[in-house]
Structure formats: structure tokens, C-alpha cells
Amino acid sequence: MSANVRARRPPSPIPSQPPRSQRFPTLTHSRSDADERRTLASKGYIPGRKPHPSGGVYVTSAEWKLLILITLIAVGIRLFRLSQPNSVVFDEVHFGKFASKYIKSQYFVDVHPPLAKLLITLAGFVFGYDGNFDFKDIGKVYERVPYIAMRLVPAILGVATVPLSYLTLRALDCRATTSVLAALFITFENGLITQSRHILLDSPLIFFTALTVFFWVGFCNEDKQQPFSDHWWLWLTLTGLSLGAVVSCKWVGLFTIATVGFSTVYQLWLLLGDMRVSARLFFRHFMARALCLILVPALFYMFMFWIHFAILSGSGDGDGFMSSEFQHTLRGRGMADTYADVAIGSVVTIRHVNTQGGYLHSHPHNYPTGSQQQQVTLYPHRDSNNDWRILNATTDGSEPQDWATLPLTYVAPGMRIKLRHAATDKALHSHDFRPPVSDVDFQNEVSAYGVPGYSGDMNDDWIFEIYEGSKKDPQSKRRLRTLRTHFRLRHALTGCYLFSHKVKLPDWAYEQQEVTCNKNAVLANSLWYVETADNVLLPPDAAKVNYRRPGFLSKFLELQQVMWTTNAGLTDRHTFDSRPDAWPRLRRGINFWVKDHKQIYLLGNPMVWWLSTAAVFSYIVVRGLLILRAKRGCKDFENTKVVKYDTLCGFLFLGWSLHYFPFFLMSRQLFLHHYFPALYFAILLSCGVFDLVTSTLRPRIRLQIAAVLVIIAIWNFIYLSPLAYGLPWTKAKCQNARWLKTWDFSCNDFYDSVSYDQYKGIDYTPQPSQIVPTPHGRGAVVVEGPVPIVSVDPNTLGKAEPGHDVFAENPHPDVKSDPAVEPVQYDPVVSDVKEISSVIEPSSSPGVESSSSQSAVESASGDSEAGTTSESSSQVEETTIAATLGVPQEDEAEAEKVRQELFPDGRR
Amino acid sequence: MSGVQDVRQRNKGKGINRDASGPSSAVDYDDHNVAYLPSRSYIESFLNTEEASAAVVAILTIIAFFTRFYKINHPDQVVFDEVHFGKFASYYIRREYYFDVHPPLAKLLFGLAGWFVGYDGHFDFENIGDSYTENHVPYVGLRALPAILGSLTVPIVYAIMKECGYSTIIAAFSAIIILFDNAHVAQSRLILLDATLIFFLSLTMYSYVRFKKLRYQEFSPQWWGWLLATGTFMACTWASKVNGILTVVAVGVAVLIDLWDILDYKKGHSMQYFWKHFIARAAGLIALPLVIYLSVFWVHLAILSNTGPGDAFMSPSFQETLRGNELLMKSHEIRYYDTVTIKHKDTQVYLHSHPERYPLKYDDGRISSQGQQVTGYGHEDSNNQWQIIPTKALPETGRGRIVRHEDVIQLLHVNTGTVLMTHDVASPLMATNEEFTTWPKDDHSRYNDTLFHLRLSDAAPGEAWKSKSGHFRLIHVPTKVAMWSHPTQLPDWAFKQQEINGNKNANEKGAVWYVNEIVDSQDPDLKAKLEEVEMKEPKRLNFFKKFGELQLLMLQHNAGLTASHPYASGPINWPFLLSGISFWTQNEGQKQIYLIGNIIGWWASVGGICIYIGILGADLLARRRGLEPIPDDVRNRLWNSTGFFIIVWAVHYFPFYLMSRQLFIHHYLPSHVASALVAGSVLSFVLSETINTPVSAWGPSVKPRPTTYADHGVKAPVMVAVFAIAMFSLYLFISPLTYGTPGLTGEQVNARRLLSSWTLHFAAKESGNI
């Protein structure tokens, strides 16, 4: 201890607070920092309980001033040139778009809960955004969008994280110097800066994580003093609310809940072991925590979705993900009432129950495989090709159209029926061919077959079986009732069930969903219901039905399920994705934006980042050693210092590991920014370690060490700041800044020198070779000299995290099924092509084996030694190609232009 | 065993007293024994005599053999995975190299069994349902091996329980769960690996229990013997099937816990003592198993010395060690101006080009270069021929004309007289990859775009390029993309041939090619060589290199088994027996084999685990509040003995949740054995709070404690008997599905579908016809 060397006021008791007892002479140490307390202790003033009731923090007025100063610095760092770039950056593509949709109340689905998006929308709304900008591509210049206001939301929350980190460490009983160090580390963390300057969700997430940690630490302090006081309840409730907010920003917030949860369980475990706590008191503790840490967050989370649904009342491009009942609640997607009864002769649309594939559908295109009869698919949109007429099949051989004259016969279980496609007049048919995709023994192909006037064969017959009806409509169990009856259709001859599953057909069926007849049908996937029914025989005043409107809770649960399945399904690769093991090493960043020879690249402050990782690992090593030593009988844990820092660092380490390790279990696409909540804990932990290491030093030296660390951090920050802010930079500086080979920002985008002439004047005019040169092709591949770099290709560079893309466009892209789209002008040509191709392709054996057809062509060209046959065949092919394309004049011209650009040296 | 005192004392004199409860100075404690004995019911004492125990185990074993061997010749057809494992046995007998994801021990044993019964390995086990009798395969001999091992598992399970100090009736209970389990029976009667795996697993557990019981006689010869036995059997488990590695983990966890206890300061051991223990275990449980595991592979590789269907998986240098391998026979150095055909390694298509051109505009609106198509084509054709053109000056003759690693070459398409080229235009199917096309050879305007770097895999600088064995990547010089292909067909305009494009990630998997054949050469020597076919001696390769390569491939392929299978099921279904596997069906007579367990036994086991967790949880909470509801001895038994079973169960079960490969219910069978043990010990706890103690052998340094005996009274035998009868009845009821005979009518099948999730064949339609 260096206490005796120090020149400082004698630690005499403060006169205003006379000692209360002889054994514990003073309580004034609460005013002093850790050093003074230790000094006091060495003089016999034993640390007792803190006198101040607030468990949260005790901050002196001088510290408040310091804190304000740091916050101001953070404001400067976070808000500096917030308006630049004035174009869309990375995932602003999505979150900006979502704000537009909130403002226009168009329903959308996203993998993240709504809170952060709502905040951004609020900012946009207040500043008069009308929702008319499409946020289509990264780099698109903003027009009439208050994007600065929208960016301010994450930026301000990012600023607020800085004082929170200070207060949290103070509440954890660290020294002011340590806390300042943490606050400055967070202020100058390039990654956090970059992330908080754009319309992204992570900055709110980190803020609420930090807020939760602060409240929780405050609560724990309070809990040690005086449980069930007003303050205690306040801190606990605030923790609960803030937990709700975290998880309402992103589901990653569940990890914060886990952190607090673990901590709570540990507290309760200790309480349980404390025999002074009666069972009743323990139960009160338990219930209070359950109420505030489970119920409050859950209600908060649901409330956010309530707001979400309230705002998104109109139909939008997220409809397709929701059930029909859900869609019915959206403005513009409602369905008119339809007849409740279905009889022979009714025209019906039939929907699949278990998938969102849609309606049983057929269109005048044939299967290229199997029977080569007309396709039957599931199609998600309303369309006249979804209409089927129910006919009676029991009257074998008699006229099929006699339904109009016969009395009304309701469709009842066991009835043998045919389904006739209204538009093409072909019957739903199944036979012993394998389906095109699910090519297995127990699946039969389903097709539409028949010619007008022909009553069809036995393979058109289906037995109608009711699976379940609605409880509220007892009729629906006895006969087919629209919307209420779930039924199966059994093929009369083969006994298989009409079936569909989430398998898409190839391009030739426009990626619609496959329909088969399955002998081992999974029950859920073989259930169908009638959505609309029309029958001329029914009087206009016959009973009608419609979808029941789902309540909030069922809508909420349905949306959770959709979000979950989609989130788990995001397994595509992205050019800048990374795996969790790379994050603590800061192996690679994310390219956010490249334009006008400037670049925004998400990369952390290497010094802060690596220091925090080192702290985490040193904690693991030291803690492991301590455990081993304890096992061998060393009494380390009787030392108060060890206990204090073990508790402090242990809590932060728990937070870090719970925010980090679960990512290893996720097979979905992951990005560097998923590490930020864990990084926050790691930075606090590194400062905790600093506090421990410097605990025996004199305050001045400690301050000096902290200053050196901060200066290095600032130097790092400045060195890499052009990437964080998208500032002008030079190629040479950029090359120098590439400390790791794996940092793949593309230096070639920068000019050789920052002469402002070069950067001036060209602002936001399209660049010749940087941006995609042609509307359809790709830009030049930049090959960097010696560095074996991952491709830097503008097309993939400027790509947002594609997770959200799943919802971005219509989920079921469909070209055809609209009968009007049926290309009239192509018709003769198309049929020509078909003839030619049928000449080329021998009517191949069943199975997709393309090789059989191609070998026919190939052997022809091969055998004749590249002679006449191949040439003639190539000619045929050329004409076919031209014919198929049927390119209109302007297309041709455009293509010619493109070709000129691609091959300036000329070709042809 | 520990039952009657005078038996014990007699044994003691003979020096074979390894028995658990044998106090070294039993006489001193006779008082205690006498004090306890009167409270024991007669039946309990009787059952725990050695004679009764031997009788019980004998009966169980006989029944086990009967159940496993009953109609083992039926069906005389290939069933389920016999397709694989039967085939592998044939390969061992024919000594042809094959590749499989599982380590070889169990398959070696099949080969041995086949050899023993005189099978010559002629049959290929191509399809499920192929007849054995028609093809004269001595399949009963092959099936007898797992049946024997499966039968022996039952007495071993009994012995484990017995050694852990449970009474005869409890041990019989655990053994019965395995004995009458339809899943174990079905799995043991066929040529499958699991019976071997489970056999060795139970032996490992048995040896470990024996080892652990000698913990007070550390470093005695018996202690060493059981330690080494544990290591040996553990290695055999591991070498039988790839999930045997979990057994290694389970034993590892148990050993770590054990060592952690030894490390405890309160035990008063020195660090030196700890290290001694540590090194002993490292030797017995790490070094020895490794040696055994390696030697199994050594035998495997030594036997499979001829070329076979597994060649293609291996690297060229490995393949050249196999007698008669194509690479060995036909690999030649390639010279400039040779005409070759080039094949894609993964998809086996030829690099192909034909005069047709890319369409101007694709369906998605992108524009092509309209250059000549370059595609992958699966069949031999003269359009697959390419000539290698040098980009440097060549000597007239000699070895200077050989193409080498890192050379820059051009490839000339012989039929059209154009050279291969790629450029910065998006490929037809992937906008991110470059289009491959060709360019007239006389037009030098785009010369640079036709240059390719030849990069051989694992090659030393200047290594010669060889046909067949020289796997290479072709890197485009200006844009650094690699020639790459993937199994996606181009549309009709390219005759549905496979797409070839330039991938920017040159290390991507699909970028490896090899020269299939040298069609024509200017070099007269080579031309002559191409004609003649000589028998070459296989090359030699270091065993460890071969082993390393094989091990790596096994892991990769195991992880790659992700295709869906109609009978695959997730781990959550397993303990509850929600789904089975259809092994075999025969329409004639409506016979089928459906792998499904005995639902009573399985649910009893799961129930046991749940009760165990409940008991321990309640005990922990109660202790926290200062109550001690369970006596210390009983509690220790629950923690240590049942805890070991739980570790084995959990380690063999939970890792499957992390695996994304195809999973089947038979992966749960090792865990099921462990859960049967848990069920037995939980039953013991539920019936009575008395236990046999102590079970560990006394050591010189340990103060002996009084002996106590478990007493379950009359209710235990009655309960177990009722349970056994119930198990047996259900076993009989389901047995037509297990043995594949007799056939069942639709209604009978419906009756046997105890859970709606079982997908049996030949079920009668539930919804009646009209």
C-alpha cells in the first residue's frame, strides 16, 4: 500500500455525522472512493453498510460535471456529419423501408420485433416523412426523406450508452477513473459509432441492453440494503420494463433476459440457503421477481405488437406470410361473404390448410415430366384459375353436366366426386406417375386431364372425407361447409390422398407449390378447406359465411411463429457474413456503403476490441486458477478483494458469455454486429480488470495509465475514422490501415491523394466503372495486387443483410397464373419452339434424366465429326433462340449497346 | 452376492475376493451383520445368494439367446442397412477397397464371420429385398454374430447392476428391459453395427464399474487390469461405429469427475499422488485406446489392398497404393500439345464445348456475350477434347515439354479451333460468377483472357501434371477466377447440360478437375505407353498419412449425410418411442419388419430418468433449507452409481441435438441401455431406502464401515414379475413386426399401431369405404 506516502487530508470523521457506535466508528466512507475506503479500513474504520438508501449509484457533483463533459464528447463523436452520406447505407434499405410502410400502414413482416422500428418511424413521422421513398438500393440518394431525424434515433441512443456505462461501473463499485475509461472506450469504439449513425436496430438494442444492466445492478445494490422498499420496487420494475424493451428491439434481447435470469436464480439460491429468511419471505422475493422480470417484460413486448398491428391495418407485401384469417383482418384483403353450403355443381376455391401455398390451381401448361399432362399446383393469389366445379361421379357414364337440372345435393362424407377446372374444363386427375419433384414410390402425380365434353375416367374420382368441422357450426361435421369444414380427398382408385407440402416446383411451373397424391400422407398436409363457393341453384338469401376475425392474441402468436421459422431459415451466405469465432478477433468487418470514392466499413476500434477480448480470456484463466487453488486448499476466496472483483467480473463475464456463445448454435447467417452486446460487456469487463490491476497503485499513476490507454484508443479511432464516417481518404493511407489481411475494405476505391479537387464536383454523379456498368451485367472485378482478396464486386458490395429480403418482395413470385398475362404475341412463336424442341428431344422416358435428351443431340453432333449435322442443328438453335426471345426492337438495341460496351474491340 | 456371510468368508481365503461388499475383516463386523440380518425378508436373502443369482442370470441369458436367434434365417432377403454392411463384409473377403463413414471394427468382425462360415464374398447386397438363398449367401452366419453379441448384452447389463450393489431382483429388472425389447432384438438379428456397439459399450461400463470399485486398492494388479479393460473396450466401441466416440466422452467425463475428487484438498492427497493417478488414467484410457483404434485401422488397410468402389473418395497418392487402381495403371505425365479430356471431380462431367452460342438475353433479362457455349457434359464425345497450348518457348523434345504445376496454359477446343476463355460477364445462371466461353485461336485481340494458371492440388513446385491423379484448379490469369461447376442444368438452349462458370473463390469445392484421358499425343513414347497395359506394383504410403486422410474423409462424409430419409426422426422423439423405422416389407403375406421398441420398457426408462431428476432436485432444495430427507449412503448411491448411468445416457443422447445429419431411432439404443440401468436403480430407491453397502473393495488405508443390506421384501419380486410378464406379453404382441413373421392382416396391423405416429405398412383403412 502506498497510503502512507500520499499527501492527503487525514481521514477524520466528518463532523456533521458523528460516529454512531464505538465498534463502527464512522459511516462516512460512503463519500470516499475505493482507495480512501481502504485507507480508512487500515486506520480501523471498518467498512460497514452504506448509509445512503439509493442502491443504484452514488455520484458526486464533480462526477456529474465530468459525466456531462464525456456525454458532450460522445455527442460530438456520434453526431459528426450525421447527414453524410446522404444516400441509403446497408440495412437502411430495410429499416427505412419499414418506416415507410408504417407510415403508409401497409402490412409487412420482419424477423425483428417492432420497438426500434417504431422509434425510427416516429422520428420520421414527426419530421414530416410521407413514406414515399422506396429505399430500394444501397447508395440511392435520399429525396424528401428526413433521414437525419431518423438517424438521430439510433445516434442519440448510442450517445446515451456512454453515460450508462459510466454509471453501471460506478454502481458496480469501481473507481471513477475506471468508469471514465469505460465511457471513453465506448465513445471511441468505431464499430459502435458506425452502427449508431445509421437507421439500424443495433444501437437501440445496445442502449436497452446497457440500460437493463444498469437497472439490474442498481437493483442488486438495493437488494443488499433494504428489500421491498419503494426504491427496491422501482429499480426492479425499471429492470423489467427495460428487459421488455430489449427483447422488443431484436430477439437477441433474449440473451439479456437470460443474463438477468441467471443472476436472479443465483440470488434466489442464496436466499434459499439463508436460514434466516423464512419460507414466506422467500416466496415474496420469488413472486416479486417473477412479476417484474417475467410478467412485465412479456406485457411490454405484447404491447409493442399491439401498437404494431394497430398501425399496420392495411394490406401490404407481408400478407402472403400470414394465414387467411389474418389476411382477412387487413384492409384491402378482406373477402366478401360467401355461401355457406357447398353442393354438387358449386364452383369453389379450395385452400390448403397447413401451408401458405394457397389455392388448388391449374393452368394451361403441361408437366415436362411424368404424364406430361396439365399442371396442378398451389397458387397463393386469388385468380380465376383457382375455380373448380364439384361434379357427382357416382352417376357413371351419364351426363356430367346434369347437376343444373337435378335437385340440390350437398356434398357429404363418402361422396364420390369429380373436380372440374373451370377455366380449362379438365378434371383433377391422379395416376401412377411419379411427381416431378417428390419422386418417391408413395407419391403419385396429380394433373388436370380431359377434354371438353368428355366425362372423364375413373382416375378423376375422389372420395370426400370430412376430418373435422367447426365447433360453432355443427352442420360442418356432417356436410361440406365453406371455411368451416376441413376435409381430405382420397383418390378412389389408388387410395392416396390429395397432398401438398412446402416444396416448390421448378421454373416451368413458376415456382408454385407442388401438389401430389400421397399414399402415406401426413395428416396435416392432406387437409383442405373451401374458401369460396358459388352455386346458381342456391337462392341469393341463403346462409353466407366469412372468416372469423382472429383476436390480438392469436394474431400475435401467429406472427411470432412466422418470425421464428423465417429467422431460422436465413441460412444463405452473404458476402460479408462471418461466424462467431471470428468476432472476438475482429477478423473482418462489414462493407456498409461504397460510393463516390468513399466507403463506410463497419470495423471496431482494434485496441479497445482486442483489449476487451484479452480481458475476457484473462478472466477465464485467472478464475480457472482460483478454482484449482481452492480445490487444493488455498483460501483465496476469504480475501475480500478477491470476492469483490470475482463478483464484479463474474457478472460481466456471465453477460458476455450469454450474449456470445449462443450464436455458435445458430446456423443462420451471422454478422459482426451481432457481437456488439457481448462487446459492451467485454469492454466493461476490461475496465473491471483495469480496476483490479491498478488497485494497488497511486491514483495519479492510475490516472496516467488510463490516460495513455485512452490516447491509444483515440489514435486508433482517428486512424480508422474515414471508414466509420465515410470521409475522403487516400489509397496509401487505406493500405496502411489494413492491419489484418482479412480486413477487406477495398482501398482501390479511394483516390491516390486527398486533393479536394478530386472529391469536389463529382459528388453523387454516377461513376463510370465503380457502379454497375450495365443494368444487367456486372461491374468490373477489381483485382487487388498481392492481396488475395475476397472479391470486391460492386454488385455484392452494396448488399444489405439479406435476412429481410425474404419479406422484401412478394414471397411467391409468379409470372403466369394471371390469365391476362398469357403472352398473346408470343403464342405462335412459342408453339414453333415447342415443335422444334420436340423434334430434338425424343419423347423421353419418364424421369427428369436430361442426359437422355442431351445425349441424343450430342451423339448426333459428335458422331459426325463436327460436320454438317451439328452446324445445321446450331442454326436451328439460333433461330429458336431468337424466336423464343422475340425481343422487341428497343431491347435489341439496348443489348447491342451493352455488347458494344462489353467488347469495345468488336465482335461479329 | 453380498448376501450370505459364510460364502463370502470362504471366498476370501482363495484370494479372488474382488467382490464389492467383502470387508477385509468381516469377522469384526459380524455383530453388525447379525444385527441387520433378522430384518431382512427371507425371499430377499434367498435371491441374493450366489446360486440364485447365477440361476437368474442363466435363465435371462438363455431367453436372450432364444429371442435373438428365433427364426434368424427369416427373412432370407437383404434388409435395410444390410445393403451396406453386408456389402462391406463382401469387400473384406474380396479385399477390395471401400469407403464408409464408420470405423472398421464391427465390419471387420462381419468379414471375419463371413470368412469363418465360408462365404466367398460374391454377393453385392445391391437392393433391399434381394434374396440370399437364390444367391447362395451364408447369411445366417453373418447374422449370428450380432445376435450373439446382442444376447450377451443382457447378462452384462445384469452384471453391471449387480456390481453396483443392487439386489438380484433389481438387476433382473434392468436386464429384462433390454431382454424383451423389440428394438434391441430386431437390431441384433440383422447384419447391422449397433449390436456390436452396444455390446462393447456395456462391457466398457462393466469394466469401469469394476475399476471404480477398486478405488481403495489403487495400483493393484486388479485395478490395473480393469483400467486397461475399460480402455480396451472403450476403444472397441469407438472403432465399431462413429458414435462410439460418445462412449469415450462419457468415460472421460466420469474420469474427470473422479480426478476432481482426488484433487480435493480435504481428501489429503499430495499433488504427486494426483499426478500418479492422472498418468495411470492417461495411459489406460487415452494411450491404449488410441493404439487399439489405430491398429484396427491398420488391419483394415492391410486387408483392403485391392482397388474397389472406395477409390474415388481418396486422394491420388492414396489410390496409387491400391493394387489394380486405375490411377496407378493409367496415370501418365502430360506434355504440351497433348489432346486430353478433362473431368470435373465432384460431378464427373467432361469439360465440353460446342458451336452453339449463349443466347443474347436470358430469361431474367441479363445479357450474355453470345460467345460459344462451354458446358459440362456427362458422356464421351469428341467435343470434350482439348489440346494444351504452351505460353512459353519449348524445347524440341524431352522432359521440357512436360506440363508442370503453376504453368500458364491455353486450352484449345479441338473440334471448333477455339481457345477456352473467361471474362467479366455474368454466367448464365449465377450473376456473381463469370461466364466461360471460347475465342477463335487466331484472333489475338483477347489473348490475355485465354490464359489460365494450372494449379495442382498439394503439389510441390515444378511437379509434373499427370492424367487421372493430377487434380488441379484452373485459375484465370487476369481475373483470378477458378473454373468451377455445380450440378445445375442449363436451359434447353444448352441441351440441359451442366453449367460451368468462373468462381471468384478459387478454393471453393467444385473447382477441382482432373485429366481423364490423354487422347492423343505428339510424343511417340507416350503414345506407345498409352497402348500397352502393364501390371504395376502398388506404391507405398505411410500408414499415418493414410489413416489421417481416411479419418478426415469419414468426418466430412458423416457430417454430409443430411439428405432426408422418410424414416429419419429427431432426437426428441426417441425416448418416447414416437417413431420407428421400416426395415423390410413383403407384400406377399403382408410381412414387415418395423424397428420399434417395447413401449413399456421405454416409458419405464424415461420415467426412471424423470423420477431421478425430480428426487435429486427436491433433495438439493431441501438441503438448501437444512433438511436431509435422504440418508447419506443412499444419497451417495444416487449420485455416484445412478449418476454414472445418467452421464452415459446423457452423453449418448444430447449430442445428437447438435448434429444436423440424418438421425434414426437406433441411434438412441446405447442411451436406452443406460436408461434401463437408471430405471433399475430408481426402482430400487423407490421400493426401499435400504441399499447394499459398501460395494467398493476395502483398501489398506480405509477404515472399514459396517455392512448393510438392501431389503425390498416380497413386493419387489412380485412387482418385477408383473413387469416382466407385461413386457413379455407386449413383446410377443409386437413380435410379428420385429421378426417379420407371421404376416398380419390390416386389422392386426392397426391393433399393433400403439401410437398414431408409427407408420406401419399394410394398415387397414380406418375410414371405411362407402
Report DSSP letters for A428-456, one per residue: EEEESS--SSS-STTEEEEEEE--TT---
Q: How far, in Å, CA of B105 to CA of B293, rounded?
A: 9
Residue A804: which pLDDT band, with cuts at 50, 70 and 90?
low
Task: Determine whether the interchain pair A858/B370 forms a contact, defined as Cβ–Cβ distance below 8 Å.
Answer: no
Task: Determine whether the interchain pair A791/B504 forms a contact, defined as Cβ–Cβ distance below 8 Å.
Answer: yes
Nearest to A804 by CA among A184, A199, A122: A199
Q: How far, in Å, CA of B181 to CA of B672, rounded?
A: 10
Task: Determine whether the interchain pair B770/A463 forms a contact, defined as Cβ–Cβ distance below 8 Å.
Answer: yes
Residue of B nearest to A898 (CA): B367
Nearest to A157 by CA among A202, A127, A121: A202
Residue of A nearest to B440 (CA): A907
Q: How far, in Å, CA of A388 to CA of A450, rounded?
A: 14
Which of A465, A862, A898 is closest, CB to CB, to B767? A465
Q: How far, in Å, CA of A272 to CA of A263, rounded?
A: 14
Which secondary-structure segment (H or E) carries A419?
strand A416-421
Task: Determine whether the interchain pair B415/A631 forms a contact, defined as Cβ–Cβ distance below 8 Å.
Answer: no
For the segment A873-883, the average pLDDT, to the nearest whole number, is 40
- Chain B nearest-CA distance from A772, in A, is 12
- Chain A nearest-CA distance from B307, in A, is 29
CA distance to A466, B64, B409, per residue, from B202 (Å): 51, 15, 60
Question: pLDDT tens digits for A461-474?
Answer: 888 888 888 888 88
For the segment A159-186, the average pLDDT, to the nearest whole number, is 93
Task: Determine whether the interchain pair A854/B265 forms a contact, defined as Cβ–Cβ distance below 8 Å.
Answer: no
Partner B, chain A 549-608, Cβ-Cβ below 8 Å: none
Three-state secondary-structure class, residue B209: helix
User: Chains A, B: CB contacts under 8 A, how many?
Assistant: 146
Residues of B in contact with A868 (CB under 8 A): none
Whether B425 and B441 have beta carbons less than 8 Å apart is answered as: no
Question: ipTM exceeding 0.90?
Answer: no
Q: Please, which residues have CB within 8 angstroms of residue A579's CB and are 6 or more apart in sequence?
A: A670
> Which amino acid is present at A565?
T
Which of A780, A783, A796 is closest, CB to CB, to B432? A796
Q: How far, in Å, CA of B239 to CA of B252, rounded?
A: 16
Range with lowest mean pLDDT among A110-124, A382-396, B302-316: A382-396
Q: What percent of chain A has pLDDT over 90?
A: 33
Task: Determine whether the interchain pair A853/B496 forms a contact, defined as Cβ–Cβ distance below 8 Å.
Answer: yes
Query: Would you call B22 exposed, middle or buried from its count of C-beta atoms within 10 A (0-12, 13-18, 19+)?
Result: buried
Q: Please, which residues have CB within 8 angstroms of residue A758's CB and are 6 or more apart in sequence?
A: A597, A751
Q: How far, in Å, CA of A498 to CA of B38, rounded?
A: 71
* A857 close to B (CB below 8 A): yes
Nearest to B273 by CA among B261, B257, B284: B261
Which is more confident, A486 or A865? A486
Q: CB pairs under 8 A, 24+ apart, for A559-565?
A: A559/A109, A559/A305, A559/A322, A562/A109, A562/A321, A562/A322, A563/A109, A563/A110, A563/A111, A563/A112, A563/A113, A563/A251
Residues of B in contact with A416 (CB under 8 A): 770
Interface mutation vs chain A, best among B127, B354, B377, most A CBs within 10 Å: B354
Task: Determine whether the interchain pair B354/A871 forms a contact, defined as Cβ–Cβ distance below 8 Å.
Answer: no
CA distance to A363, A846, A850, B120, B491, per residue, from A369 (Å): 16, 6, 10, 43, 15
Q: How far, in Å, CA of A59 to CA of A180, rounded?
A: 13
* B261 close to A (CB below 8 A): no
**pLDDT value of position B455:** 87
Residues of B in contact with A507 (CB under 8 A): 363
Task: Determine whether the interchain pair A902/B425 forms a contact, defined as Cβ–Cβ distance below 8 Å.
Answer: yes
- Chain B nearest-CA distance from A876, in A, is 10
**Residue-wise DSSP of B96-125:** B----SS-SHHHHHHHHHHHHTT--S----
Q: How far, in Å, CA of A895 to CA of A893, rounded?
A: 5
Residues of A in contact with B354 (CB under 8 A): 858, 861, 870, 874
For the segment A107-119, the average pLDDT, to the nearest whole number, is 92
Residue recorded with cell 430384518:
B39
Residue A769: which pLDDT band, with cuts at 50, 70 and 90?
very low
C-alpha cell at A767: 461513376
* B415 close to A (CB below 8 A): yes
Q: How far, in Å, CA of B45 to CA of A455, rounded?
A: 83
Task: Determine whether the interchain pair A272/B625 forms a contact, defined as Cβ–Cβ distance below 8 Å.
Answer: yes
Kindly compute the dihedral angle of the four CA atoms of residues B680, B681, B687, B690, in this order, to the nearest 10 degrees.
Answer: 140
Residue of A nearest to B757 (CA): A522
Residue of A nearest to B444 (CA): A905
Range with lowest mean pLDDT among A92-101, A529-538, B156-165, B170-179: A529-538
Partner B, chain A 746-785, Cβ-Cβ below 8 Å: 774-778, 780-781, 783
Which of B479, B658, B759 is closest, CB to CB, to A520? B759
- Averaged pLDDT in 10-residue chunks for chain B of 770 residues: 38 38 40 50 84 94 95 88 89 91 93 91 86 89 94 96 92 95 94 94 96 91 95 95 93 95 88 94 95 95 89 83 79 85 87 88 78 88 89 80 87 90 85 86 86 85 82 87 86 86 81 84 71 70 90 85 80 91 87 92 95 94 89 90 95 90 90 96 90 83 81 88 95 92 85 87 57
- Establish how many alpha carbons lie within 13 A of residue B121's alpha carbon, considering only the half-sphere containing its beta carbon: 15
Q: Which of A22-36, A637-651, B509-523 has the highest mean pLDDT?
A: A637-651
Q: Is the pLDDT of residue A156 over 50?
A: yes
**pLDDT value of position A805:** 52
Task: Determine whether the interchain pair A853/B504 forms a contact, defined as Cβ–Cβ distance below 8 Å.
Answer: no
Q: Please, which residues have CB within 8 angstroms of residue B689's CB and are 6 or more apart in sequence?
A: B630, B631, B634
Q: What is the largest CA-CA distance in chain B?
A: 109
* B621 close to A (CB below 8 A): yes
* A266 close to B (CB below 8 A): no
Kindly compute the dihedral angle of the four CA atoms of residues B571, B573, B577, B582, in this order, to the nearest 10 degrees.
Answer: -80
Task: Determine whether the interchain pair B365/A902 forms a contact, defined as Cβ–Cβ distance below 8 Å.
Answer: no
* B563 close to A (CB below 8 A): no
Interface mutation vs chain B, best among A440, A637, A854, most B CBs within 10 Å: A854
Q: Is the pLDDT of residue A396 over 70?
A: no
Query: Would you call A85 exposed, middle or buried from its count of C-beta atoms within 10 A (0-12, 13-18, 19+)?
Result: buried
Three-state secondary-structure class, residue A90: coil
**Residue-wise DSSP of B641-675:** IIHHHHHHHHHHHTHHHH--S---GGGGHHHHHHH
Residues of B in contact with A775 (CB under 8 A): 365
Residue A32: which pLDDT band, with cuts at 50, 70 and 90?
low
* B770 close to A (CB below 8 A): yes
Task: Determine whether the interchain pair B425/A880 forms a contact, defined as Cβ–Cβ distance below 8 Å.
Answer: no
Residue of B nearest to A520 (CA): B759
* A830 close to B (CB below 8 A): no
Task: Determine whether the interchain pair A874/B765 forms a contact, defined as Cβ–Cβ distance below 8 Å.
Answer: no
Residues of A in contact with B481 (CB under 8 A): 781
Nearest to B708 by CA among B18, B174, B40: B40
* B416 close to A (CB below 8 A): yes
Residues of A in contact with B489 (CB under 8 A): 850
CA distance to A228, A272, A273, A287, per residue, from A276 (Å): 16, 9, 9, 18
Sign of CA dihedral A770, A775, A780, A782: positive
Kindly compute the dihedral angle of the four CA atoms of residues B429, B431, B432, B435, in this order, to the nearest 10 degrees.
Answer: 70
**pLDDT value of position A665:** 87
> Which amino acid is present at A646?
D
DSSP letter for B349, please.
P
Q: How far, in Å, CA of B635 to CA of B342, rounded?
A: 70
* B266 close to A (CB below 8 A): yes
* B703 close to A (CB below 8 A): no
Partner B, chain A 610-639, Cβ-Cβ below 8 Å: 628, 631-633
C-alpha cell at B702: 480405509
Q: Is the pLDDT of residue A784 over 80?
A: no
